[in-house]
Chains A and B, each alone.
Chain A
Amino acid sequence: MQPAAFASDGQAVLLTLRLAGVVTLALLGIGTPLALWLAFGRSRLRVVVEAIVALPLVLPPTVLGFYLLVLLGPRGPVGGCWEALGGERLVFSFTGLVIGSVVYSLPFVVQPLANGFRSIDRRVLEAAATLGARRFDRFLTVILPLSRNGLLTAVTLGFAHTVGEFGVVLMLGGNIPGRTQVLSIAVYDHVEAIEYGQAHVLSAGMLAFSFTVLLGVYLTTRRFDVVGP
């Protein structure tokens, strides 16, 4: 093993954590209003949106990655517009990875949040309203504290699932060390190159990390919202 390889592995680990952090924040920003709408909205479109959000659970990551590549590519509708507006190329960039990961991990954040919100007794929210609490006040003082478990589950799953993704990243970001090479791809590279030692180090680290995170969630919430379509 060469020091260069270690440096590249370190880069991959840091990049992965940075990606997961950014994606988790973005997911909370997008997922919370979406989950509120799914839980409390009255529109008939809710079912359709819920099905769309759940798609990444059943689609092969390569299929999702392929469509994202088409959409975000320089000739795709989204990527094309973005570049025409002066944006940097989305595919094979960190931004592209963030977008892909957000889509891919969306159900893992939206579903526990929506389930958490739905489990709140409507009358408690109505009572808060009759006590003078406005919408945002109710969100902060009633909805958030009463869906703590859902929130915790959402954050952990969003983060962990992003750390663990492979297919979408490979399709959309390729394998550029320091730019788009994340941990799971580094492991794949090591195995391809028959560098089992390094693959072991990264894989064992990943295993320990994932187990610790899940154990933490189980211990804190004592019950686990089963995530599934």
Chain B
Amino acid sequence: MSTLEIAIRGRRGSFELAVEFEAPLTGVTAIFGRSGSGKTTLLRALAGLERMRGRVVVGGRVWQDAGRFLPPEERLVGYVFQEAALLPHLSVRGNLAYARKRAKSQRVSPPQVVDWLGLHDLLDRMPSQLSGGERQRAALARALVRSPELLLMDEPLASLDLSARDAILGHLERLHDELAVPVLYVTHATDEVARLADRVAWIDQGRVRSVAAPEVLFAELEMGAALGDDAAAFVPARVLRHDDTYHLSELETAWGVLFVPRLTAVVGAPARIRIRARDVSIALGREHKTSILNVFAARVGELLPVSAAEVLVRLCCPAAPEQAVLARVTKKSADAMGLGDGLEVYACVKGVSVR
């Protein structure tokens, strides 16, 4: 399988970037981290827009190495900027034609992309006549028309309102099935990771802390601590059946059957559930008289204090030890319950969100 090999090192003012990782060249790799962690600089360096030392190999093709540095125009990337950066003197059609004319292969055809992103009515508009969401869709289309070996997206949704964001996320979810273009996706939003990413590279202070599947990475205590209130684990699931009497859907997970508000997804469809650490409480015994539907047996892993009053607890799935969720509880209850490594408990999940 072809891979993406990155080892980049450089300095911009007082900020130092030293990133090294390898990832399969397929699906969506999220580059996740807080703002100022070096995500954008990394992406720019990969595109050749920032000149940094190191090695970049994409599917066996050396983009840069000691003594070799391909300029951006010779790297087959599609780059989607945070603000669309369409050529302002050309219409949407003109922007697509600009990319098409310089593309090295026609693997992705403009009509296909225009159809997929619903750009028909916008083709003759100038960039200044487009809304933020429309502009970003056009920029995505333009990047795809280049038929890139790698699509680089720099927080493409950061400046959009919720509905525009949701619409584009919908398109991006189908990107892989439609076009099979590998994507590096820079973001600091966990919900975007949940919906899109096959794997996540966690960047912190210019360094890679970890590269893993989102299910694994977001169940780690350090990640939970770094995210604070946003700490949330992802659980892979499959739609089992819909219950129209109570307007619920049942999802099959390694933890057992999980109830969520009625989904539109068809039975058998995969889903990724996001469980916030704040929404998980811990019980020592199985409490039957409770309004909480989703209660699962779990085994306590490590604990990590995250504030003066609270600890983050890693709860492992007994049936699948590699799967875990996080719970955020007070130190007082942790001590009272005697929470510690290996203790058998029940995880009570008060709320979940499904991508």
Contacts and interface: CB of A to CB of B under 8 A. Distances in A.
Contacts of B73: 129-134
Nearest to B72: A129
Nearest to A131: B99
Interface residues of B, number: 26
Given A129-B49, A129-B71, A132-B146, A124 B98 contact: no
Contacts of A206: none
Instruction: Label chain A's interface by main secondary structure.
Output: helix
Interface in B78-101: 78-79, 81, 83, 85-89, 98-99
A127 interface: yes
A131 B81 contact: no
Contact of B87 (A127, A132, A134): A127
A124 B104 contact: no
A131 B88 contact: no
B247 interface: no
A145 B49 contact: no
Given A146-B88, A146-B89, A131 B83 contact: no
A145 B73 CA distance: 20
A132 B89 contact: no
A142 B94 CA distance: 12
A221 interface: no
Contacts of A134: 71, 73
A26 B158 CA distance: 47
B288 interface: no
Contact of A131 (B48, B49, B142): B142
Given A131-B98, A132-B146, A145 B89 contact: yes
A131 B98 CA distance: 8
Nearest to A148: B89
Contacts of B103: 132
A126 interface: yes
Instruction: Report which residue of A126, A128, A131, A145 has the largest number of chain B beta carbons within 10 angstroms of its beta carbon.
Output: A131
Interface in B320-350: none
Given A124-B88, A146-B88, A130 B98 contact: no
A19 B89 CA distance: 35
Interface in A145-180: 145-146
A223 interface: no
B126 to A, nearest CB: 13
Contacts of B78: 130
B77 interface: yes
A91 to B, nearest CB: 45
A44 interface: no
A133 B75 CA distance: 11
Given A130-B78, A132-B103, A121 B85 contact: yes
Interface of B: 47-49, 71-73, 75, 77-79, 81, 83, 85-89, 98-99, 102-104, 139, 142-143, 146
6 contacts: A121-B85, A124-B88, A126-B81, A129-B73, A130-B75, A134-B73
Interface of A: 121, 123-124, 126-134, 137, 141-142, 145-146
Given A133-B102, A137-B102, 5 more contacts: A124-B87, A127-B87, A130-B78, A131-B146, A132-B102
